[in-house]
């Protein structure tokens, strides 16, 4: 299942809100009010695949694991702390939980391996989109080349 980061109106400098989806696309995220489950509101996001399609056994258990994880005491509202125990901590802790037996990823490793490649690509797209939105452009299809 993918990790979701909302990009609506993203300026490239502020923090993104992060969540994990279940198999039905419901996003689980954590903030000062606790764990939220949202079936909408994440339409403009970066979706980062975390599980390979051949990991069938994990995919079958994903929803139950995510629901059980989200109910743990660690994710109660009073535990939230903006810098050290936040939505990113929630997502990373869940990823490390499902890695079972493998070395846990640090924040730096997780960021480098999963987030940076996708956020760089999104940043290039958003920059291009902003440039196009603020300039007069006319796009025409290229004529098909003769064979």
Give pLDDT, residue 1.
Answer: 47
Q: What is the pLDDT of residues 15-67, one digit of tens each?
A: 678 999 998 899 999 999 999 999 998 887 888 888 777 777 888 899 999 99
Give pLDDT, residue 54.
Answer: 74
For residue 146, pLDDT over 80 is answered with no
- Cβ neighbours of 30 (radius 10 Å): 28
Contact between residue 10 and residue 126 where contact means Cβ atoms under 8 Å apart: yes
Give pLDDT, residue 55.
Answer: 78
Phi, psi angles (nearest 5°) of residue 103: -55, 130
Task: Assign 12 a pLDDT band (cuts: 50, 70, 90).
Answer: low
Q: Where are the beta strands (DSSP E) in the chain?
A: 2-6, 18-21, 27-31, 34-38, 45-49
Task: Assign 133 a pLDDT band (cuts: 50, 70, 90).
Answer: confident
């Amino acid at each position: 299942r993918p990790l979701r980061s909302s990009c609506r109106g993203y300026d490239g400098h502020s923090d993104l809100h992060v969540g994990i989806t279940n198999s039905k696309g419901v996003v689980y995220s954590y903030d000062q009010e606790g764990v939220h489950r949202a079936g909408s509101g994440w339409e403009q996001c970066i979706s980062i695949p975390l599980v390979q399609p051949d990991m069938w056994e994990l995919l079958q258990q994903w929803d139950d694991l995510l629901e059980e994880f989200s109910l743990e005491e660690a994710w109660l509202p009073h535990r939230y702390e903006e810098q050290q125990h936040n939505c990113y901590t929630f997502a990373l802790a869940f990823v490390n939980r499902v890695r079972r037996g493998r070395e846990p990823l640090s924040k730096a490793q997780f960021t480098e391996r999963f987030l940076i490649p996708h956020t760089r690509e999104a940043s290039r797209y958003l920059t291009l989109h902003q440039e196009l939105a603020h300039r007069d452009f006319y796009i025409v299809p290229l004529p098909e080349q003769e064979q």
